[in-house]
Amino acid sequence: MVASGPAGRVAGCDTMVALGTATSSGATLFAKNSDRPPGECQPLEFVERAEHPPGASVRCQYLEIPQVRRTHRVLGSKPVWLWGFEHGINEHGLAIGNETIFAREPPAASGLLGMDLVRLGLERARTVDEAIAVLTELIEHHGQGGSGFREFEFPYNSSFLIADAGGAWILEAPGRHWAARRCRATDSISNQITIGSDWDRVSRELRAHAVREGWPVSEPFDFEETYRDVENVPRALSEGRLRCSRTRLADLSGRVDVAALRDVLRDHDVSGSRFQPGAEPESEAYYTICMHEGLSRTTASVIAPLHSSSALPLVWVSFGRPCSSLFFPVVVAPGLPEALRRGTDEPSDVLWWVFEKIALAVEAAPEKTDVVRAELDPIETELLVAGLDAARDLANLPPSDADAFAAGFMSDVAARVDAAARRALDAVG
């Protein structure tokens, strides 16, 4: 997501993928940092699979649309006041994350939010191919629009990175039009149109619409050249982050794992793993993958290994800025602990806010990062081992036992994370 202000100081998310050929385990790995307005709480939400009667509808953020007969289990990361998800994964190992993109084609005053589309895609699709079909049909039929921010009116267009065990696609959609391409072995998106003439699929009227609007149209058709808005949006917003994520992932090719993706999500450009203030908003260094400045902050992150097995998916999530937080395992199953799903509009003692307060302390005094990491690194290491063990156990359990195991496992994880977070807050307080 992206927020823009009077000075044009904007900031946004980063979503990335490493296919099985680029990972150490052979499994697809999906990851995202979600950047939202400072102090906007973003806990987790679990949605159970359901059967819906004929003629049922579903209320999204601004639109009510027809419901499908069957929806899937989904674990998503959701700003407290919104219906949709910034990112999520469903029971079939399908993961989706979205980004705001800036295009010549404006979004509508009302329509589906990118976050609505993430949730709808996860609830309705089992695979990448199904998700592309679901999302493009919704985009063409309902359009995109409505503000994704409470504080001001800001409709936006979206791009999506969609991944499963078999591969991944990038889908970029201005208005009711879209282009899509298969992901490379390592790939990422940020807050700009990235698909050029390398598209694999485009909407039927994409080129004709551009011609009618008088936009530049080359041959072969270059989607980025035609649709990207570079006049009203500074290139520094996204180009540095996109280059950084793509370069780091490419350099890791063949060795990408959960620990490596944690490091990428914690990247602060030349500052490495520790945030350092002082860059000017006109500089790429101001807009880092782990976001601390501007009108947005990183509020939640995910790393999702995507397997072809029928076992319950297990993912790694963090609250707040990943450099001052920890990644812990969560299963896409019932029994999500209250500590992980509770959210409040105002500062409180819920777990998400504990990590937000730690992040604020680090931003005020970056040297406190070492104090935070001394408290959180040991438990993060322990939970990495525990999560990998739990994933193996889930793969060997019958479905009748897996849900109960997952609920007990997540309860223990939540208690350990909560205790560690409060120790860290005390240490920097």
DSSP 115-153: HHHHHHHHHH-SSHHHHHHHHHHHHHHH-BBSBS-SSS-
Prediction pTM value: 0.97
Q: Which domain CATH number covers 237?
A: 3.60.60.10
Residue 305 belongs to a domain: yes
Beta strand residue intervals within 179-242, DSSP E: 179-182, 186-189, 201-202
HSE at residue 126, side-chain half, CA atoms within 13 A, is 4
Residue 408 belongs to a domain: no
Residue 271 belongs to a domain: yes
pLDDT digits (tens, 9 = 90+) for 215-258: 999 999 999 999 999 988 889 999 999 999 999 999 999 999 99
Helix (H) or strand (E) run with residue 428 in it: helix 399-428
Residue 422 belongs to a domain: no
Contacts of 238 (CB under 8 A, 6+ apart): 12, 190, 191, 192, 287
Residue 285 belongs to a domain: yes
Residue 221 belongs to a domain: yes
Hunting for tokens 């298969």 — which residue is that? 182
**Exposed e or buried b per residue across 332-349, where buried means at least 16 C-beta atoms within 10 angstroms of its C-beta:** bbeebbebbbbbeeeeee
Give the helix ranges, DSSP H, for 233-308: 239-251, 258-265
From the list 174, 383, 405, the residue with the least C-alpha distance to 311 is 405
Catalytic residues, by residue number, are 13
pLDDT digits (tens, 9 = 90+) for 334-381: 999 999 999 999 999 999 999 999 999 999 999 999 999 999 999 999
Could you give the CA distance from residue 101 to residue 232 in angstroms, rounded to a whole number?
12
- Domain of 193? 14-364
pLDDT digits (tens, 9 = 90+) for 376-424: 999 999 999 999 999 999 999 998 899 999 999 999 999 999 999 999 9
Asked whether the beta carbons of 176 and 191 are under 8 A apart, the reply is no
pLDDT at 12 over 90: no
pLDDT digits (tens, 9 = 90+) for 260-286: 999 999 999 877 778 999 889 889 989
Q: In total, how many domains does the chain have?
A: 1
The pLDDT of residue 311 is: 93
Could you give the CA distance from residue 312 to residue 72 in angstroms, rounded to a whole number?
13
From the list 319, 313, 329, the residue with the least C-alpha distance to 265 is 319
Contacts of 176 (CB under 8 A, 6+ apart): 139, 140, 143, 144, 203
pLDDT digits (tens, 9 = 90+) for 43-55: 999 999 999 999 9
Structure tokens at 338: 């209250």
Residue 77 belongs to a domain: yes
Could you give the CA distance from residue 98 to residue 291 in angstroms, rounded to a whole number?
16
Residue 284 belongs to a domain: yes
